[in-house]
Amino acid sequence: MSRIMSHAGPTVVSRAARWLGGALLVPSLAAAQADTRPVVVVFTFTNSSIGPAKAEFDGIATGIQDLLITDLASSSKIRLVDRSRIGEILQEQNMVRGGQIDPQTAVKVGKILGAQYAITGGFMADKSGTAVLTGRTIDIETTQIANPQKITGKADDVLALIGQLSSKLGSDMSLAPRGSRPGGAGKSGPAQSGGPTSSANTAQAETYAKVLPASVVEKSMKTKLDAATMKLYSKALDEIDAKNKDKAIDLLKQVKSNSPDFEPAQRNLDKLMGKTGA
């Protein structure tokens, strides 16, 4: 074999290498294209609280979105768009005013991301310490709003509310797989605005939310987290999005000090500090 290759010349060898490389990629590409699970995008929730509670709960929307995505991503029925990718598109398209996501915006952004369904919602708390978290799904193709959910609980245990909403949405959603459409996720992943087609596989890996082990997700969602700590976590995520590494690290350390067992804070800290496996 080596004798044959030595007489074949560099051009023939190069062609053979390219052919073999392409052949090896075919199974992985086919596997990616065969994934017909619907793609779901979760948007930030709206703070509908009234009075003093509104100020108390302002700033926790990013944390709710992040943790809902993490919990839902453990489902084998769907694929979740990564939170950072959603933020990039919203910023690029300059669509959001005052943090509000209306159904029309949800549908438009969902199409750009190649999603079939969107999840939107809101939260509200009162001075008695009662909190309500609501959520619903939007069919990106038909714009139909369905599967309304309402969870009532205590404002000092925000994670419990998120966990219950995630469970209800995950079990009650009827999300039929959809075929591919132009720019959609049925090809090589959610559409990348302005992205080159040659990087489709990389874009796909960066676009979908990371699926964590079920045991890790379950432990995280059982951690008791009050509104103040959730606000710190949300601010840390906002600083990560703004590329303010030092501020994000400081805020995440505060979250860890308040709630040592809150795994998402440690995971983000590890990632920011470049620790292996983050």
Q: Where are the domains of the chain?
A: 39-177+192-212
Give yes or no for a contact between 115 and 37, defined as CB atoms under 8 angstroms apart: no
pTM of the predicted structure, to 2 decimals: 0.76
Most confident segment among 11-15, 171-175, 181-185, 247-251: 247-251
Tokens of residue 109, six digits: 């952004």
pLDDT of residue 164: 94
User: What confidence tier does 262 reach under pLDDT thresholds 50, 70, 90?
Assistant: very high
- Buried b / exposed e over 40-51, threshold 16 CB at 10 Å, is bbbbbbbbebee
- Decide: 188 and 201 in contact? Cβ < 8 Å: yes
What angle, rounded to 10 degrees, do the helices at 214-221 and 61-72 form? Answer: 150
- For residues 31-47, average pLDDT: 83
Q: Token pair of 49, please?
A: 């609280």
Quick one: pLDDT band at residue 229, thresholds 50, 70, 90?
very high
Integer Cα distance of 34 and 272 in angstroms:
34
pLDDT at 180 over 50: no
pLDDT at 189: 44
Provide the phi-psi class of 147: left if phi over 0, else alpha when psi is between -120 and 50, else beta: left
Q: Residue 129 in contact with residue 156, Cβ under 8 Å?
A: yes
Residue 56 vs residue 117, higher pLDDT: 117
Q: What is the mean pLDDT of the chain?
A: 79
HSE-up (13 A, CA, CB side) for residue 121: 27
The 3-state DSSP class for residue 120 equals: strand
User: What confidence score (pLDDT) does residue 130 get?
Assistant: 92
Q: What percent of the chain has pLDDT over 90?
A: 45
Q: How far is CA 201 from the centre of its chain?
A: 18
Name the packing angle between helices 158-172 and 61-72 (round to 10°). 40
Q: Give 201 or 128, the one with higher predicted confidence.
A: 128
Domain 39-177+192-212 matching CATH 3.40.50.1000: the answer reads: no
For residue 244, is pLDDT > 80? yes
The C-alpha atoms of residue 25 and residue 218 are separated, in whole angstroms, by 35
Q: Assign 251 a pLDDT band (cuts: 50, 70, 90).
A: very high
136 three-state secondary structure: strand
Alpha-helical (H) ranges within the chain are 2-34, 52-57, 61-72, 83-93, 103-112, 158-172, 200-207, 214-221, 227-241, 245-258, 263-272
Q: What is the pLDDT of residues 94-133, one digit of tens each?
A: 776 555 688 899 999 999 999 999 999 999 998 888 999 9
Q: What would you measure as the largest C-alpha separation in the chain, in angstroms?
A: 84
pLDDT per position as a tens digit, 139-158: 999 999 999 999 999 988 99
Q: What's the length of the chain?
A: 278
What's the confidence (pLDDT) of residue 268?
Answer: 94
Q: Which residue has the higher pLDDT, 53 or 124?
A: 124
35 pLDDT band, cuts 50/70/90, is confident
Q: How confident is the model at residue 218 (pLDDT cuts 50, 70, 90)?
A: confident
Residue 5: pLDDT band with limits 50, 70, 90:
very low
Average pLDDT value for residue range 35-44: 91
Which residue did the predictor score with more confidence, 206 or 252? 252
